[in-house]
Structure 1
Amino acid sequence: MCKKVLFILCIIFISCSKEKQFERGIPSHIESNTSELYHGKEIIDTYRPLENIKDSMILDWYQKETLFAQNILQNISGRESFQTNTTNASAEISELTFTNDDHYYYLKKNPIEESKKLYSRHEIAGEEILVFDPETYKIQSKNNYYINYFNPSWDNTKIVISLSKDDEEISEMIILDVKTKKKYSQIIYNSWPTALGGVRWLSDDSGFFYEYIPETNSDAEEYLKNVETVLYTLGSDPKKRNVIFSKENNPEIQMNSGDFPEVIVQNQHDKYIFSNVSGASPYYEYYFTEYENLYNQKIHWKPLFKQEDKIPYFFIDGDDMYFVTAREASNFKICKTSLKNPDVRNAEVLVAEDPNATISDFTITKEGLFFVKTKNGVSSKLYCLKSGLIEEIPIPKPAGAIYLIAKGATYDDLWIEINGWTTNEVRYKYDSNQKKFTEESLDPKSKKATYDDIIVEEVEVASHDGTLIPMSLIYHKNIQKTGNNHVLMRGYGTYGISLKPELETMMMEWIAKGGIYAVTHVRGGGEKGDTWHKAGFKKTKPNTWKDFIACTEYLIDKKYTNPSKIAAWSSSAGGILLGRAITERPDLYAAAIIRVGKLNTLRSENTPNGLNGIKEYGTVKDASEFEYLLEMDAYHHIKDGEKYPAVLLTAGMNDTRVPAWQPGKFAARMLKANASDKPILFNVDFNSGHGFDASAEKRKAERQDILSFAFWQTGHKDFTLKTETIKMN
């Protein structure tokens, strides 16, 4: 923030009473008498004015709250001790992609760099070549661009690169000649490849499919509505769109304006192409047609399967479709049907459901069908189905999570990536004939940290209804159960997403200073299959935060800690979990950190992507679903005069997933209602979005804020507020 604005603030000393230290008034212009009648029930929404961020007086409140928060956070002693990425001091490599001719493409960021660059090499031992540096893109502009997606053509002569500006997810795509590194003159705007299916090349590499967003202004009523799948031909004018699949173009297929239509090409020589109607759900409705019909004036899309068939993904081998399904198999089963006459409900079952583990991944190669079984979301094993026999494949080391990568059914290449709570991600190539794994590293000189002194304890906790909830506890071996350990809890529990084992920087920095890191695998996630997701969904959503509360009580009962030592954090849709946990049981927590959190679910449909969220949360237009949304709305559960824990809320002003007013309204209501002397801080990044494409410096600063705030509020001796603080008039 500029120095001029800082003069608005006055410096005071901590000689003032603790009760007054974090107090500040609520300006009258952010309050209102707004009320709405939902199915006969009146709902008061006092801080509705905060939704109008375009109003200069409203924006002024956001700015002042941010100044207040930043000057508190930056005056916590010990904050600067979180300096480096402790899990990997060498290069950060991600988004590895293989081509059919064995070229490797990946993003890499060296420790001193702010953004990732795109590199390639031929085979694992090949020379590394810089393909594209985003810092060379639109140099004259004052914007920061980051690569958020790329996809090379089948013949590896061209590559599409997507760039986002200042953490705005809506992107612009360029096409690069791989050999000359020259950019095509055309730039494709209004795309979102990271969320809407990416780029799918035609078999002859003459063009590709992508999703076009007609309205990208997040303030507009039509934002993210009526999305179209476009077939783009290389060299053509992107403004002259060849729409292949859309609500308007395909009235015979039922689509809502908030749905996302996609066209899928799996492999270069497949006989079929596919389309789906996607959104905020793990399962979509799919259609298909023969590839040769692509250039017909009107494509006839034949039904393949419905959303209720619960098929998250599939693979093609000739006329055969291999798919995984949760229909009548909550932990999933793998089946096969023929595309000549597809019938997914009466398909051949190749791998039956396991009642004790979920099928978390699968793929096919020339050598067989490979799949992963995972128990409680944290312990994984690899299997192969070949000639009707299933065989477990011993892996090089125990795995919390296993991810499979293959080129397709006509190749024998298979890679696995292994992750764990205390182990760096390792990738191996598997030789099916030799039954041998060979480690592959794109940065062989890097020195990975080892954590032999760290204990991982997997426990199960009885929730309010007796259901056993998995929880992962990670801590140093010298930790004693004295009831006084600093604990940082994490949870999510939405969209069927699992919190899978991975080595997190924040986790290891917390543990390094004597803390316990607790990851809860609550209902609403996918750790125990489809039923687990549906047990924290709409009507059953309260299970999500009640499971989290049960895990908190377990940590207290088993003498790991006590309420004054517990901080909890979550983000995005995890704001429902944590917001409701602290409004239902504020006595259990010393601090809560909610980054870009969804906290006002009654108003979710009024957010830029609100229609899409109806599939997961419900709609206020339905009387029953209105009650579900009200129950999960943390903002409307804040009570006047309640003693709440310390709260740190963050928001990104460019965020279209969770707009800044969601945590903003929660912050204002909490400031007004809170009877405790704990700080309520609201920190907004005015040049950022949801955080997916944030710079390395911003990610580090956010990590410092979260960890130092959590240690400060749980009483760590090295984290205290400095002798003077900066406070607004």
Structure 2
Amino acid sequence: MMRVLLIILLAALNAQAQPMFKDTVKDNYSGTIIPDPYRWLENDTLARTREWITAENKLTNSYLDAIPFRKALTEHLSSTWNYARETPPVKAGEYYFFTRNNGLQPQNVWFLRKGLNGAEEELLDPNKLSANGTTAVTMLGFSTDNRYLAYAVAYAGSDWNTLHVMDIISRKELNDELKWVKFPRAAWKGNGFYYSRYPAPEKGMELSARNTLNQVYFHRLGTLQEADSLVFEARLSVAAFVTEDQRFLIISSLPGSFLGFKLTSSTGNALHYQDLSVPGSRIQPLIKGYDNHNIVVDNKGGKLLLQTDTDAPNNKVVLLDPAHPEKEHWQTVIPEQRSSLENIDLAGGYMWACYLKDARTLVSQYDYSGRKVRDVQLPGIGTARNFSARKADKDIFYTYTDFTTPETVYRLDVVSGKSVLYRKPDFKGITTGYETRQVFVTSKDGTRLPMFIVCKKGTRLDGNNPVFMQGHGGFKRNLTPAFNVARMIFLERGGIYAQPNLRGGNEYGEAWHRGGMRGNKQNVFDDFIAATEYLIREKYTQPARIAITGVSTGAVMVGACINQRPELFKAAIPVVGAMDMLRYHKFTIGSTWAEEYGTSDNKEQFEYLVKYSPLHNIKAGVRYPATLVLTADHDDTVVPAHSYKYVATLQEKQAGDNPVLIRIDSNAGHGPGKPTTKLIAEAADAWSFIFSQLNVKW
């Protein structure tokens, strides 16, 4: 009866939520004419757009309000989420800095203590910076003398950050204020630091205008931003780093640096360097071209340790002389392994190589000559991160998590390699009685991919279990085992969680990444479909009980999969996705993704983009899965217009009674910095939708 009422309610409200008219605008892509009838939804200040948003919010709220257990689910989730948790302490001089959330605080609060056992003192509470808890703070690092701390402040979920500096001794904020920064870093050198920023956008276009000409500046403490020295600029994206001994400035840039905006056939980065120990030295090329991914790990005297996938798809570490940086002069320090080298952390004068073996973390300790000291014994089969500290430190504070273990802080002794528990979160939910399996699935082209499956012990494989799947498949991002407090309510009620590792990530190195990018993007969708078919074939579930999700490029995957195989899924939740793959590069930082996706400006790339673009492959008269799109009004990573146009089109063409809804969060962005209250509200709505669609009993 309740389902019937929901269908009737949706039918009644859906007419009100339809856009009032269609644009006649059409685009010519190398001779192919593509209409864009909902182009007007790209203008979020247009009155017509605001009216559409109001109608959509009314529709979505009415639907969710009619779910009888939504309130109880929300209360249970709030109660479960209410547990104390801390981040690993970071040492600077005689102080340790860390954050804590007592449970439901919107943002983590920063503390410091003298020594590990000293009395703690509140340093900065972001919750006092805004009435609604939507102001987020990111710590960027300490000056060489440990007196000053640089930090970034972002408002309402936007990528735009403002940099500030605090005097740790007096606990007072300096007058320094640096604006128009995205993805902030502060590379300290002497009495100041290097940082990158964009030119100020046109007023009213802060959240949608294309961001180009990223510039590195040096800021001296106590001066105005206008006095900062321009050091380097790139058309797309650039980042600065200074080695711990302050000798080398390293600058990494994406394709387009000094060349104007020009697509290449590569997805890597170029490197420049400056020897800061030589007065009057200039910035010089270190790694030319963009054929490979390169990260300067540290220096060893006048030479540099470089992590690279040059001739090593799984990555290796080499030593190079900046005076002779050509690869024929490189000395191998850590050779390529069978497992994918995710990153190198530095601590205690050692390199800590973090590998992925079938999407699980392995960590090995090396000295700077490349001698392997030991493999770190981790607490379990899961994800471990943050093996970073200064060279003089003797302890590392790292985190460990898996699907049923909240992120826990461990203390590792650099000399012995032994780990002990340092801080365990005060999670009161049930984390026992579950099992995690890893299976391997054969994709359409014969490629073997891993998939984690989490469920209660003793779950019967009768072909009728509710299943929730998440995938990503792009930008070298890995989906590894991690705890999610909201997902636990699904597992508690007999649900099964499945997480396939799709091509496009870095789980098996650069070859795996390239297998899911550009013209190979269809492999990502084939992988996810194959994983879904595996779960059905092995009697875990059936299509009527499968819900899927993906975030950002994972949402593109969701949109493509429900277009290509709508009968395979019951419900879909695409989150902050670039659903218009023909125009994504025309907004904010979208042009920086061109090397991953390709763009419609190129005829060859247009030909494959238009074949899978979620917006452009919705067909009239098809019964698509029940769909709840999640986006936010301050998302200036993937602008919400993507989701608006996608939902308008899907609502227009949907056949049958499966709802098509959009949840538009206010004063929120792409995800990072979202306050706890908003995280809970969004999760409660999403899981209420999933429970109702999969017929999961509350």
Amino acid in structure 1 at the alignment position of 2:494: G
Provide the residue aligned with 1:126 in structure 2: 118
Q: Identify which of 352, 356, 377 aligns with 1:395.
A: 377
Between 460-469 and 73-82, report the one with greater CA deviation.
73-82
How many Å separate the matches in 1 of 2:22 and 2:316?
A: 53
- C-alpha spacing 1:20/1:391, structure 2 compared with 1 (3 Å): same
Between 692-701 and 76-85, report the one with greater CA deviation.
76-85
1:45 correspondence with 2:36: yes
Amino acid in structure 2 at the alignment position of 1:597: G
Q: How does 1:272-671 map to 2 (within 5 A)?
A: 272-278=248-254, 283-292=268-277, 296=280, 299-355=282-338, 357-365=339-347, 368-384=350-366, 389-390=371-372, 392-409=374-391, 412-441=394-423, 446=426, 451-671=431-651
- C-alpha spacing 1:301/1:405, structure 2 compared with 1 (3 Å): same
CA RMSD of aligned residues (A): 2.7
Q: Deviations over 1:384-405 (max 9, x none)?
A: 4587643543515223223242
Provide the residue aligned with 2:108 in structure 1: 116
* Secondary structure of residue in 2 paired with 1:548: helix
How many Å separate the matches in 2 of 1:563 and 1:135?
A: 43
* Secondary structure of residue in 2 paired with 1:503: coil
Q: Which structure's relative contact order is higher, taking Cα pairs within 8 Å and 6+ residues apart? A: 1
How many Å separate the matches in 2 of 1:98 and 1:340?
A: 35
TM-score (norm 1): 0.88
Mapped contact 2:134–2:673 kept (Cα < 8 A): no
Amino acid in structure 1 at the alignment position of 2:352: F
Mapped contact 2:313–2:510 kept (Cα < 8 A): yes
Mapped contact 1:590–1:714 kept (Cα < 8 A): yes
CA drift of 1:438 comes to 3.0
CA drift of 1:669 comes to 0.7
Q: How does 1:67-216 map to 2 (within 5 A)?
A: 67-80=58-71, 81-82=73-74, 83-84=76-77, 89-94=82-87, 96=88, 98-137=90-129, 144-192=134-182, 195-196=183-184, 198-202=185-189, 204=190, 206-216=191-201
Amino acid in structure 1 at the alignment position of 2:151: I
* Secondary structure of residue in 1 paired with 2:100: strand
Q: How does 1:684-699 map to 2 (within 5 A)?
A: 684-699=664-679
* Secondary structure of residue in 1 paired with 2:539: coil
How many Å separate the matches in 2 of 1:17 and 1:89?
A: 37
Mapped contact 2:348–2:389 kept (Cα < 8 A): no
- C-alpha spacing 1:439/1:278, structure 2 compared with 1 (3 Å): farther
Q: Identify which of 668, 682, 687 aligns with 1:702.
A: 682
Provide the residue aligned with 1:723 in structure 2: none
Q: Deviations over 1:365-419 (max 9, x none)?
A: 5564332332121253535458764354351522322324233456554444322
Between 610-619 and 24-33, report the one with greater CA deviation.
24-33
Mapped contact 1:586–1:644 kept (Cα < 8 A): yes
* Secondary structure of residue in 1 paired with 2:483: coil
Q: Identify which of 230, 242, 260 aligns with 2:229.
A: 242
CA drift of 1:53 comes to 1.9
- C-alpha spacing 1:379/1:15, structure 2 compared with 1 (3 Å): closer
How many Å separate the matches in 2 of 1:458 and 1:66?
A: 39
How many Å separate the matches in 1 of 2:462 and 2:28?
A: 51
1:14 correspondence with 2:5: yes
Mapped contact 1:119–1:131 kept (Cα < 8 A): yes
Between 394-403 and 484-493, report the one with greater CA deviation.
394-403
How many Å separate the matches in 1 of 2:104 and 2:627?
A: 32
CA drift of 1:451 comes to 2.3
Amino acid in structure 1 at the alignment position of 2:340: T
Q: Deviations over 1:118-150 (max 9, x none)?
A: 11123332322111122444x7x8884221344
Q: Identify which of 192, 198, 218 aligns with 1:231.
A: 218
Unmatched runs of 5 consecutive residues or more in structure 1:
1-11, 247-254, 719-729
- C-alpha spacing 1:309/1:635, structure 2 compared with 1 (3 Å): closer
Amino acid in structure 2 at the alignment position of 1:67: K
How many Å separate the matches in 2 of 1:449 and 1:599?
A: 36
CA drift of 1:468 comes to 0.9
Q: Identify which of 37, 47, 50 aligns with 1:56.
A: 47
How many Å separate the matches in 1 of 2:692 and 2:433?
A: 25
- C-alpha spacing 1:322/1:419, structure 2 compared with 1 (3 Å): farther
* Secondary structure of residue in 1 paired with 2:512: helix
- C-alpha spacing 1:339/1:13, structure 2 compared with 1 (3 Å): closer
CA drift of 1:431 comes to 2.7
Q: Deviations over 1:505-537 (max 9, x none)?
A: 122121012100111110111111111110110
How many Å separate the matches in 2 of 1:428 and 1:22?
A: 52
* Secondary structure of residue in 2 paired with 1:60: helix
Mapped contact 2:83–2:103 kept (Cα < 8 A): yes
How many Å separate the matches in 2 of 1:494 and 1:111?
A: 33
CA drift of 1:282 comes to 7.2
How many Å separate the matches in 1 of 2:353 and 2:485?
A: 29
Amino acid in structure 2 at the alignment position of 1:114: P
* Secondary structure of residue in 2 paired with 1:31: coil
Q: Deviations over 1:139-186 (max 9, x none)?
A: 7x8884221344222222221221111112212222222122222133
CA drift of 1:602 comes to 0.5
What is the aligned length?
683
CA drift of 1:292 comes to 3.5
- C-alpha spacing 1:697/1:432, structure 2 compared with 1 (3 Å): closer
Mapped contact 1:18–1:677 kept (Cα < 8 A): no
CA drift of 1:547 comes to 0.7
Unmatched runs of 5 consecutive residues or more in structure 2:
257-265
* Secondary structure of residue in 2 paired with 1:405: coil
Mapped contact 2:220–2:228 kept (Cα < 8 A): no
Amino acid in structure 1 at the alignment position of 2:610: L
Mapped contact 1:87–1:505 kept (Cα < 8 A): yes
Q: Identify which of 245, 254, 262 aligns with 2:239.
A: 262
Mapped contact 1:371–1:384 kept (Cα < 8 A): yes
Mapped contact 2:17–2:59 kept (Cα < 8 A): no
* Secondary structure of residue in 1 paired with 2:619: coil
Amino acid in structure 2 at the alignment position of 1:373: Y
How many Å separate the matches in 2 of 1:445 and 1:18?
A: 42
How many Å separate the matches in 2 of 1:570 and 1:388?
A: 39
Q: How does 1:666-681 map to 2 (within 5 A)?
A: 666-681=646-661
* Secondary structure of residue in 1 paired with 2:686: helix
Q: Identify which of 52, 56, 68 aligns with 1:65.
A: 56
Mapped contact 2:210–2:587 kept (Cα < 8 A): no
Amino acid in structure 1 at the alignment position of 2:85: E
- C-alpha spacing 1:112/1:428, structure 2 compared with 1 (3 Å): closer
Mapped contact 1:272–1:288 kept (Cα < 8 A): yes
* Secondary structure of residue in 1 paired with 2:277: helix
Between 101-110 and 671-680, report the one with greater CA deviation.
101-110
Amino acid in structure 1 at the alignment position of 2:318: C
Amino acid in structure 1 at the alignment position of 2:241: I
Between 80-89 and 527-536, report the one with greater CA deviation.
80-89
How many Å separate the matches in 2 of 1:434 and 1:51?
A: 57
